[in-house]
Amino acid sequence: MMRSAFSFNYRRNTMYLRGCARSRGRLSRSIFSRDHDLVSGEGSSIATGATSPTSSTLSEMTTQLDSLSMATDDSERYPTTSKFPKTRPSDLNCKQGESGQQIALVANYIKMLAAPKWDLYRYHCSFEPNIELRKIRRETLAKAGIKDVAFDGTLLYSFEDFGSEKTVSCKHPVTDESVTIKMKRTSTASPESPEFFHLANLIVRKLLEIAGLKLLGRNYYAFDKKIELDRYKLTLFPGFMTAVNVYEGQLMINVDLSTKVMNKQTVYSILMDKFNRFDDTKQAQDASLKELVGQIVLTPYNNETYKILDIAWDKDPNYQFTKRDATQQSLCQYYQEKYQVKIKDVQQPLIVVKASKRMAKRGAKKDESGMIFLIPELCCITGISDSMRQDFSLMKEMSTYTHVGPSERHQQLNGFLNDIQKREEGRKELSKWQISLDKELVQLTGRTMEAEPIIYKDRTIKYNPLEADWSRDGRSLAHLSAKHLDKWILIYCQRDSQVAHSFVDSLYKVCTPFGMRVDFPEMIELPNDRSETFIRAIENKANPQMDLICCILTNNRKDRYDAIKKVLCVDCPVPSQMLLSKTLQKPGQLMSVATKVGIQINAKLGGEIWAVQIPSKTIMVIGIDTYRDSQSRSSQMIGFVASINSTCTRYYSRVIEQRSNKDLITGLKLCMESALQKYHEVNGMLPAKIIVYRDGVTDFQLLDVIENELPTINETCMKAQEGYDPKLGMVIVKKRGSARFFARDPRNNRQLINPPPGTIIDHTVTNQEWYDFYLISQMARQGTVAPTHFNVIWDRTGLKVDHMQRLTQKLCHLYYNWPGTIRVPGVCQYAHKLAFLAAQSLHTQPHESLADKLFYL
Residue 9: burial class (beta carbons within 10 Å; 0-12, 13-18, 19+): buried
Residues 824 and 711 in one domain: yes
Q: What is the pLDDT of residues 10-20, one digit of tens each?
A: 333 333 333 33
Residues 255 and 403 in one domain: yes
Domain assignment present for residue 794? The answer is yes
What is the model's pLDDT at position 79? Answer: 35
- 578: enclosing H helix or E strand: strand 576-580
Q: How confident is the model at residue 771 (pLDDT cuts 50, 70, 90)?
A: very high
Q: How confident is the model at residue 65 (pLDDT cuts 50, 70, 90)?
A: very low
Q: Which residues are within 8 A (CB) of 496 and not within 5 positions of it... i.e. 6 or more apart? A: 552, 554, 581, 584
Residues 326 and 399 in one domain: yes
- 219: enclosing H helix or E strand: strand 219-221
Domain assignment present for residue 638? The answer is yes
Residues of the chain above pLDDT 70, percent? 87
Residues 282 and 416 in one domain: yes
Domain total of the chain:
4
Torsion, Cα 487 493 495 499, to 10 degrees, reads -30
DSSP-based three-state secondary structure for 111: strand
What is the model's pLDDT at position 192? Answer: 64
649-676: average pLDDT: 95
Domain assignment present for residue 266? The answer is yes
Residue ending a domain, choose from 431, 446, 472:
431
Segments forming the whole domain that contains residue 835? 619-843
Closest CA to 754 of 775, 735, 780, 722: 780
Task: Tell whether the model's pLDDT for residue 34 goes beyond 60.
Answer: no
604-612: average pLDDT: 97
Task: Tell whether the model's pLDDT for residue 444 goes beyond 70.
Answer: yes
Cβ–Cβ < 8 Å for 235, 229: yes
Residue 846: burial class (beta carbons within 10 Å; 0-12, 13-18, 19+): buried
What is the model's pLDDT at position 9? Answer: 40
Residue ending a domain, choose from 604, 634, 663:
604
Mean pLDDT of the chain: 86
Closest CA to 70 of 155, 135, 150, 138: 135
Task: Tell whether the model's pLDDT for residue 471 goes beyond 50.
Answer: yes
DSSP-based three-state secondary structure for 117: coil
Cβ–Cβ < 8 Å for 693, 797: no
Lowest mean pLDDT, pick from 351-360, 506-515, 694-703? 351-360
Q: How confident is the model at residue 194 (pLDDT cuts 50, 70, 90)?
A: low
Lowest mean pLDDT, pick from 244-258, 291-305, 794-808? 291-305
Residues 426 and 322 in one domain: yes
Cα separation, 666 vs 151, in Å, equals 46
What is the model's pLDDT at position 327? Answer: 83
Q: How confident is the model at residue 335 (pLDDT cuts 50, 70, 90)?
A: confident
Cβ–Cβ < 8 Å for 199, 112: no
Identify the CATH number of the domain in which residue 515 sits. 3.40.50.2300
Residues 225 and 252 in one domain: yes
For 14-75, the DSSP string reads TT-STTSHHHHHHHHH----SSSGGG---SPPPPTTPPPTTSSSHHHHHHHHHHTTT----T
Residues 288 and 419 in one domain: yes
Residue ending a domain, choose from 167, 190, 213:
190
Report which DSSP code applies to 302. Answer: T
Q: What are phi and psi of 80, to 5 degrees?
A: -65, -35
Residues 254 and 314 in one domain: yes
Closest CA to 777 of 756, 791, 761: 756
Cβ–Cβ < 8 Å for 551, 564: yes
User: Cis peptide before 349, with omega less than 30 degrees from 0?
Assistant: no
Residues 691 and 814 in one domain: yes
Lowest mean pLDDT, pick from 327-341, 399-413, 449-463, 648-662? 327-341
Q: How confident is the model at residue 356 (pLDDT cuts 50, 70, 90)?
A: low
415-442: average pLDDT: 91
Q: How confident is the model at residue 36 (pLDDT cuts 50, 70, 90)?
A: very low
What is the model's pLDDT at position 83? Answer: 59
Domain assignment present for residue 357? The answer is yes
Domain assignment present for residue 805? The answer is yes
What is the model's pLDDT at position 302? Answer: 77
What is the model's pLDDT at position 482? Answer: 96
Cα separation, 449 vs 465, in Å, equals 9
Task: Tell whether the model's pLDDT for residue 55 goes beyond 80.
Answer: no
Closest CA to 692 of 617, 644, 641: 641
Q: Which residues are within 8 A (CB) of 498 and not within 5 positions of it... i.e. 6 or more apart? A: none
Q: At what angle do helices 281-292 and 2-12 cross, to 10 degrees?
A: 100
Q: How confident is the model at residue 31 (pLDDT cuts 50, 70, 90)?
A: very low
What is the model's pLDDT at position 45? Answer: 28
Q: What is the pLDDT of residues 109-130, one digit of tens each?
A: 999 887 666 778 999 999 999 8
Task: Tell whether the model's pLDDT for residue 442 goes beyond 90.
Answer: yes
Cβ–Cβ < 8 Å for 150, 203: yes
Q: How many residues in the chain?
A: 857
Q: How confident is the model at residue 357 (pLDDT cuts 50, 70, 90)?
A: low
Domain assignment present for residue 731? The answer is yes
DSSP-based three-state secondary structure for 12: helix
Residues of the chain above pLDDT 90, percent? 62
Lowest mean pLDDT, pick from 367-381, 397-411, 779-793? 367-381
What is the model's pLDDT at position 359? Answer: 54
What is the model's pLDDT at position 77? Answer: 35
Residues 165 and 228 in one domain: no
What is the model's pLDDT at position 816? Answer: 97
Domain assignment present for residue 157? The answer is yes
Domain assignment present for residue 106? The answer is no
Residues 657 and 600 in one domain: no
Task: Tell whether the model's pLDDT for residue 43 goes beyond 60.
Answer: no
Identify the CATH number of the domain in which residue 718 sits. 3.30.420.10
Beta bridge partners of 775: 760, 788
| Prediction pTM value | 0.82
Q: What is the pLDDT of residues 546-559, one digit of tens each?
A: 999 999 999 989 99
Q: What is the pLDDT of residues 641-658, one digit of tens each?
A: 999 999 999 999 999 999
Residues 180 and 214 in one domain: no
